[in-house]
Structure 1
Amino acid sequence: MLDVQEILRSGAFAPESATDLLVLDHDHRLRRRIVLTTAAGLRVRLYEARPVQLRDGDGLRLADGSLILVRAADEDVLEITAPDAAGLVRIAWHLGNRHLPTQLMGEAIRIRFDHVIAAMVEGLGASCRRIDAPFDPEGGAYADGGHDEQAHGHGHQAHGDHEHPHAHA
C-alpha cells in the first residue's frame, strides 16, 4: 500500500501523466482517511489532517512519485432545468435551504436522486430528468473549494463551525 503524499488540483498537472485511475462517488471523494483501490488494483491510503474534497480531474501523487487521476463516478442523480434563469435560481435557493449537495452547471443543477425533492422542484415549475452521471457538487463556503487550505495552512470544516440561524422547511 502506498500513501498519498500530495493532492494536485485539476489543471495543475497533465492528466495523461497519470499511471492509474480512481473512479469514486461523491462520498468517497469527501474524506480525511480512507484506503482506496485503483483501477489497476493498487491500494492507496489517504490520510489528511482535515477532510478534503477530491474533485473530478484531481491527481494524487503517491510516495513512490507516481500519479493517480481521480474521476467522479456516475451516480443516480436528478438533472434539474427551469424555463429561465430566475426559475433556476429559485430552485437553487430551495435546495440550499435544505442543505442538499448541489452541482451547479450553468443552465442545469444536479442533485442526488430523491423523489420527494423531484416533486417539490416540479411543483415550482422546473423539469427533472433522472440520469446516471458524474456528481461533483459545490464544496460550499466552509469547504476547500474556494481556496487551497494546505497553501494557507488552515482549513474549515464543511459543517458545524458556522451560525445556523435559519429555519428548515
Structure 2
Amino acid sequence: MIVEKIMININNMEKEEVEKRHIEKVYLESSHLVKRVQLVKTDHGQEIGIRLKESRDLVAGDVLYMDDKNLIMIEVISDDLLVISPRSLHEMGTIAHQLGNRHLPAQFEDDDMLVQYDYLVEDLLKELQITYKREDRKVKQAFRHIGHSHG
C-alpha cells in the first residue's frame, strides 16, 4: 500500500467513528515526521509506503488509511527532552536567546519550553539556574530547524 495523502487526524474524528474500527499504529520517531517519502511498518507487521504529494509534516494522530473496519494512524515515540520552566519573562528571554544562538529548535506546551536533550544545554540551564527537568515525552510534531545563516 502506498499512501499519498493524509485522510484526517484522529483527534478530528468523532469518538464513535474511531471506536468502531480496528486500529493499527505506525510508530515513528519525531525526526521522521518531516519525511514525506518513507517505508514504514505497522504494529501488526503491514508495510506501508508513504509518499505525500502535499508539502507537510506528519503529525501524531494522522490517519494514513481508513475503511469501514480498519484505521492506520501515526503514533510518535517518546523523545528524551529537557522541559524548561522559566519563572519569569527575564528567564524566558535569557534561555530563548541562548538556545537561539545555538540554533536549537524548541516547542512550547503550556508554560513549558521543550528541547531535545543535550548535555551542553543541561549544563547551561544549571549555570543560569533556570528550572528544568529531563523526561521522556511524546511530542505531536517534529522539532524543525529554521533555516538561517550568519553570513
- Percent identical among aligned pairs is 23
Q: What is the TM-score of this pair, normalised by structure 2?
A: 0.76
Aligned to 1:148: none
1:114 aligns with 2:118: yes
Give the CA deviation at 1:72: 1.7
The whole-number CA distance in structure 2 between the counterparts of 1:52 and 1:65 is 27
State which structure, 1 or 2, has the greater radius of gyration over its C-alpha atoms: 2
The whole-number CA distance in structure 1 between the counterparts of 2:69 and 2:94 is 46
Letter in 2 for 1:114: D
Task: Output aligned runs, 1:140-155, within 5 Å.
Answer: none
The higher relative CO (CA closer than 8 Å, separation ≥ 6) is in 2
Q: What is the TM-score of this pair, normalised by structure 1?
A: 0.69
Q: Are the equivalent residues in 1 in contact too, given 2:31–2:143 (CA < 8 A)? A: no
- Uncovered stretches (5+) of structure 2, i.e. residues with no partner: none
The whole-number CA distance in structure 2 between the counterparts of 1:159 and 1:129 is 25
Aligned to 2:88: 84
Higher helix share: 2
Task: Output aligned runs, 1:1-150, within 5 Å.
Answer: 2-7=1-6, 8-9=8-9, 11-14=11-14, 16=18, 17=21, 19-49=23-53, 52-61=56-65, 66-136=70-140
Letter in 2 for 1:70: I
After superposition, the Cα gap between the structure-2 partners of 1:5 and 1:32, relative to the gap in structure 1 and judged at 3 Å, is closer
Give the CA deviation at 1:43: 0.8
After superposition, the Cα gap between the structure-2 partners of 1:36 and 1:76, relative to the gap in structure 1 and judged at 3 Å, is same
- Which sits farther off after the overlay, 51-60 or 38-47? 51-60
Count matched residues: 146
Give the CA deviation at 1:98: 2.3
